[in-house]
A and B are shown apart, each in its own frame.
Chain A
């Protein structure tokens, strides 16, 4: 029983064809779990114009695109009940035993965790982001998260900082929260084959150009760096509301020939941009993990980053220089980094080999599987425990979520009556491990 394959459903609002950290994480984790012989499907909402229904992604990952419209930034409306008919049907016909919800702003994920117990399915949740405690949006989403986390089997965070944050936000027992980092495909981020010329140092920035990515710091520090080091050039990739600030800065200081703005960069083009430089600058004001930093380090760049969130955990101290989120300190750190790079103290190929040893999606899948096994072996909560735990949320929120729970149960009973389980079209032809190998390895 301990090694029997699991049937896992990944549920999130965020998935391919969108691109991003969460989307990539779900895909890579699913593929590596498939490789380990498990059955994995993904459930997400539809993407206009025509991505709706069942699709297959290479190599044999089945994706259910539920016909839900999105509310804002590709998240669906959190209405707690409308997902249940789809959910019940999919979970039953695919004979799913465990669901894995992703991202704390994904309404589908929360709903999946709420409905799972009706079908005797166990739950795991991965939190990918950091939230504060003070603003109104954070207070509301934190309460929603706390309500869902009352009944979840286990929680996974992508960094130790993220874990502390999630434990505080959702009021969880720290023992039930696991830390499993993101990873990357090292082969996609190879260092430049020919060494870069040593007389000019190129600083690369690839980021969404938004306030939270600290673009203000870049705008303030870049002219000073250009003035102090005449052999420095900047390459900035990305798009966003702060692009205009960068353009203005470039014009104000006549740096058109020193600062190159690439605009939006496709993810598959990022390696090409990275290998043009020797230093990668990240000025984020908050970052749960920092996949972009990891990708740049893998491509052999020396990293300069603000010391925020989970960034200090992802690389050893000799591959990264930290700065405070101030203009002066960014300037100091860049000048130091230029010195390190110019004196050849940073070997790109050695850095690449080290990263290859640090991070591997196969390891992530193994560690996640351990969490799945722990959840499957733990005794499930019965309905009364659920109600008691939900009531414990607070004098105001507790009853609200208990009512939602009760209505959910009633709705489920109606569905059992309207659509009996016998009428469901079960999926009995599985994509086994042998079939997977046939497709992937030949």
Chain B
């Protein structure tokens, strides 16, 4: 609700009470009741002193504190960092200043390291047993994705040959913004079953589409394959790991955020100092400024509750 309206509302309700109390003296001393079934001696537009007395404001008000908010913002920073890293890698591949074979090896190494970390988390949370079947499935799926991407690479390379590069830049920018806006930033402990949400699926789709259209600008099949594989690592698998890591101690969260953010700025710096400083500003403001703004904006929170609100039914499920 907007601020101006709430202020006027507050003013109306307080002035009403004073008006009403003066009016009460003028009216007869007969007792007014808040009922409809009784014919009362008061006019129909009589404003009783109890008018709006059941109005409550911000009943479930919980003031935020800075550090938990900043820790929550770390997930967003990490996601933005991965997008920036992806963009830097793409520009290097486009300029042919980066060997695509190296990128394939890095992706494979990332996958193995990430999977090991995942297993470690699984182990500490007690799900180690009865999962060899699941592990076999994971290996099979990863090999399938690997081969499918390899087979599709020539098709993807010429996919948008008829489209101008300007359209591709605009399209991929939109898709990546969509990805960042719809991504699931909740943690495993707080957002139960959140991974199945539609927005999260849309977010992954947008990112992979962006990777595909960008990859179609590259020169050779191997680069296309490397970039899409890298995108799958960053946008499909890393969010899963991040979702689990959200519950890790704050030192690990802060450490990983700082590493990712620093890395994204460092690899962007040789390409363009302007872009690197823009990245750094975006990451810094997301992490430090945005929580402070939310904290400041909370003073304007004004939620109005009263007997007219629909009740929430409580049943034993």
B-binding residues in A (CB < 8 A): 130-134, 139, 154, 159-162, 164-165, 167-168, 171, 173-181, 212, 214, 216-217, 219-220, 283, 285-286, 306, 308-310, 312-316, 325-327, 358-359, 363, 367, 370-371, 394
- A-B interface contact total, Cβ < 8 Å: 121
* Top 8 A-B residue pairs of the complex, sorted by shortest distance between their CB atoms: A220-B315, A358-B37, A325-B311, A165-B308, A130-B308, A286-B310, A181-B36, A178-B44
Contact in complex: A367, B44 (CB < 8 Å): yes
- Contacts of B37 on A, CB cut-off 8 Å? 181, 313-316, 358-359
Q: Does B99 contact A (CB under 8 A)?
A: no
Contact in complex: B308, A286 (CB < 8 Å): yes
Contact in complex: A174, B51 (CB < 8 Å): yes
A325 to B313, CA, bound (A): 5
Instruction: List 25 A–B pairs whose Cβ atoms lie within 8 Å, in order of A's numbering.
Output: A132-B308, A133-B303, A160-B34, A161-B306, A164-B51, A168-B55, A175-B45, A178-B45, A179-B45, A212-B310, A214-B313, A216-B313, A283-B313, A285-B311, A286-B310, A308-B307, A309-B308, A310-B36, A312-B34, A314-B35, A314-B36, A326-B314, A327-B316, A394-B2, A394-B4
Instruction: State whether A132 and B310 are in contact (beta carbons under 8 Å apart), knowing that A175-B47, A314-B37 are contacts in the complex.
Output: yes
Using CB atoms, name the residue of chain B closest to A178. B44
Q: Which of B5-13, B64-72, B107-115 contacts A (4 or more CB under 8 A)?
A: B5-13
Using CB atoms, name the residue of chain B closest to A217. B313
Contact in complex: B44, A179 (CB < 8 Å): yes
Contact partner of B36 among A159, A171, A177, A214, CB < 8 A? Answer: A159
Q: Does B38 contact A (CB under 8 A)?
A: yes
A165 to B309, CA, bound (A): 9
Smallest distance from the beta carbon of B258 to chain A beta carbons, Å? Answer: 38
A-binding residues in B (CB < 8 A): 1-2, 4-5, 8-9, 12-13, 16, 19-20, 34-39, 44-45, 47, 51-52, 54-55, 303-304, 306-316
Contact in complex: A171, B12 (CB < 8 Å): yes
- Output the residue of B9, B16, B36, B38 with the most chain A CB within 10 A: B36
A327 to B316, CA, bound (A): 7
A390 to B315, CA, bound (A): 46
Contact partner of A167 among B12, B36, B44, CB < 8 A? Answer: B12
Smallest distance from the beta carbon of B127 to chain A beta carbons, Å? Answer: 34
- Contacts of B51 on A, CB cut-off 8 Å? 164, 174
Determine the main DSSP class of B at the interface with A: loop
A371 to B54, CA, bound (A): 27
Using CB atoms, name the residue of chain B closest to A132. B309
A180 to B43, CA, bound (A): 10
A283 to B311, CA, bound (A): 10
Smallest distance from the beta carbon of B263 to chain A beta carbons, Å? Answer: 40
Instruction: State whether A309 and B307 are in contact (beta carbons under 8 Å apart), knowing that A160-B36, A167-B12, A325-B313 are contacts in the complex.
Output: yes
Contact in complex: B307, A326 (CB < 8 Å): no
Contact in complex: A286, B309 (CB < 8 Å): yes
With A164-B308, A181-B37, A285-B311 already in contact, 16 other A-B pairs whose C-beta atoms are closer than 8 Å? A130-B308, A133-B1, A133-B303, A134-B303, A164-B307, A165-B308, A168-B304, A178-B45, A212-B310, A220-B315, A286-B310, A308-B311, A312-B34, A313-B37, A315-B37, A325-B313
Contact partner of A326 among B2, B52, B315, CB < 8 A? Answer: B315
Instruction: State whether A139 and B52 are in contact (beta carbons under 8 Å apart), knowing that A164-B308, A309-B308 are contacts in the complex.
Output: no
Instruction: State whether A161 and B315 are in contact (beta carbons under 8 Å apart), knowing that A358-B37, A394-B4 are contacts in the complex.
Output: no
Contact in complex: A327, B304 (CB < 8 Å): no
Smallest distance from the beta carbon of A135 to chain B beta carbons, Å? Answer: 10
Contact in complex: B313, A174 (CB < 8 Å): no
A154 to B44, CA, bound (A): 12
Smallest distance from the beta carbon of B197 to chain A beta carbons, Å? Answer: 19
A204 to B13, CA, bound (A): 40
Smallest distance from the beta carbon of B141 to chain A beta carbons, Å? Answer: 38
Using CB atoms, name the residue of chain A closest to B23. A175
- Contacts of B307 on A, CB cut-off 8 Å? 161, 164, 308-309
- Contacts of A164 on B, CB cut-off 8 Å? 51-52, 54-55, 306-308
- Contacts of B12 on A, CB cut-off 8 Å? 167-168, 171, 173-174
A159 to B44, CA, bound (A): 11
A159 to B35, CA, bound (A): 8
A295 to B312, CA, bound (A): 25
- Contacts of A370 on B, CB cut-off 8 Å? 44
Smallest distance from the beta carbon of A350 to chain B beta carbons, Å? Answer: 15
A159 to B34, CA, bound (A): 9
